[in-house]
Amino acid sequence: MVARWFTGEGNDFRLLGTRCSACTSVFFPREDAFCRNPGCTGDDLAEVALSRRGRVWSYTDSRYRPPSPYVTDPELSWEPFALIAVELASERLVVLGQAAPGITVADLTVGMEVEVVPGVLHEGTETTWTTWHWRPTGATG
């Protein structure tokens, strides 16, 4: 898990960003030092929970084994997965994330509604690395 990028479980799961009090820009991943808006000199940033639902802005298959720090077992075969760029309208932000297990590019269309759900990036013998996934609304799993 990346500290302070998300919180909660189940229906309370949310990505965490920051909002600048001067220009109201929202950032993800979060920013704690200064406003990333080049037209703003603000540095008063507050944590904000991002919208749970958004619309597919774009998507693709990830057909290669990603480099470190992504954790994979080189002894296992690589399984492609879908990546989804999701537009969060109220934040005016696009957030990239992996599709929930079982969701492929064949299941996705630009503009469809998706929701953020907790996911597992990798499970080791002593540690489970958690992340977020995007899942079409109404899908189960």
Q: pLDDT tens-digit profile of 109-136?
A: 999 999 999 988 777 778 877 889 999 9
**Closest among 81, 71, 79, 69 to 125, alpha carbons compared:** 71
Q: Domain boundaries in the chain?
A: 1-50, 51-141
| Selection from 104, 108, 102, 98 nearest residue 72 by Cα | 98
pTM of the predicted structure, to 2 decimals = 0.85
Q: What DSSP designation does 5 have?
A: S
In this prediction, what percent of the chain has a pLDDT beyond 70?
88
